Amino acid sequence: MSKLFKLVSIISLFLFISGCSLNNSKADSKDNAKSFKDSQGNVISLAKPFQRIVSLAVSTDEILLELVPLENIVGVTKSTVRGELSNTVAKAKLVPNLVDVNSPESVYKVQPDLVIIPDFVRKDVVSTLKEMGTTVFVYKKANNYAEVKQNILDISKVVGKNPQPLLQYMDDKLQFLDNKLKNIPDKSRKRMVYLMSGGIYCNPHSPFQDMCKYAGLKDATLELNINKKTHLSKEEMIKLNPDIIIVPDFNWDGKTFTDAKIKAVLEDSAYRDVKAVKNKQVFAIKGNHLYCLSHHIVDASEDLARVAYPELFK
């Protein structure tokens, strides 16, 4: 664990230095503008700092609200004022406009000079905003902690702000966890599964892998060698027989209560011989951490570690 943390810290430092180097690249000789290239290869030029920024993802909102003065953010996504999904509700409520990620018109209406969008937003939204003459910066959805850091760097370059406090937040949290968990032998690290409404979440290429790794846990689904995103059945739960089951603490429709989710798992007769159920090791993890793709993603690892190894956090 310690070696792993040191490697991540070195990578983080390299990313920061590389980011600074790119940010200080030569300006355009005519208008003194810097140029930035997004994940889709589009080059964004600017002669002066952006003053009216809109974000179309909760994680981008969380990053921007730490980097940019409130007066320069004219719109954030509606979900950012929901505590189940957002880690920056109080600040988000101070932004004058809540925009609809699926409505280019609602975005254009607030007259932004920059819109920052993850690449999982519908392509027609991006193309429509561009047709309207809006400057759009598209970044790649992160699949691990290193890619989250890279997105923070890229966004900070576009808005001309220092990313180091956010990168430091991540490194400090990971160091804290490493100090707590480094003495757990690999063979003693608990096996867990993430149970969603559609079944056991299985995705070897998602941030969930780093969430588990830095929490001193093993995602039991990796033992199946499935190389794609899918959901697994109750039969697979029985075969995997995990030490811990987690469910998301997220009431998405106003009717899905967390206590009811946990009770349903514990009382499901199909799971009666599963270790996690027999030992009552079924826990809810905050949705605003579990679904996070900003610097707060490391908080998910802490949440997981605290339920898995409570004795180490006393």
Q: Tell me how far apart the alpha carbons of residues 118 and 23 are, in angstroms, rounded to a whole number.
A: 20
Rg (alpha carbons) of the chain, rounded to whole number: 21
Q: Tell me how far apart the alpha carbons of residues 208 and 302 are, in angstroms, rounded to a whole number.
A: 13
Q: Tell me how far apart the alpha carbons of residues 87 and 287 are, in angstroms, rounded to a whole number.
A: 10
Burial class (CB in 10 A: 0-12, 13-18, 19+), 140: middle
Question: Residues 6 or more apart from 124 whose CB is under 8 A from it?
Answer: none
Per-residue pLDDT of the chain (314 residues), as tens digits, is: 555 555 555 555 544 444 443 343 333 333 344 788 899 988 887 668 899 999 999 999 999 999 999 999 999 999 999 999 999 999 999 999 999 999 999 999 999 999 999 999 999 999 999 999 999 999 999 999 999 999 999 999 999 999 999 999 999 999 999 999 999 999 999 999 999 989 999 999 999 999 999 999 999 999 999 999 999 999 999 999 999 999 999 876 666 778 999 999 999 999 999 999 999 999 999 999 999 999 999 999 999 999 999 999 99
pLDDT of residue 46: 66
pLDDT of residue 17: 47
Question: Residues 6 or more apart from 127 whose CB is under 8 A from it?
Answer: none
| pLDDT tens-place string over residues 68-109 | 999 999 999 999 999 999 999 999 999 999 999 999 999 999
The 10 Å Cβ neighbour count of residue 169 is 17
Question: Bridge-partner residues for 301, per DSSP?
Answer: none
Q: Tell me how far apart the alpha carbons of residues 2 and 11 are, in angstroms, rounded to a whole number.
A: 14
Question: Bridge-partner residues for 231, per DSSP?
Answer: 201
The tokens describing 279, both together, are 């030992």
Residue type for 177, please?
L
Identify the structural domains of the chain with CATH numbers, from first to last: 2-162 (3.40.50.1980), 188-313 (3.40.50.1980)
Whole-number average pLDDT of the chain: 90
pLDDT of residue 178: 98
Q: Which of 246, 249, 300 is nearest to 84 (CA)?
A: 249
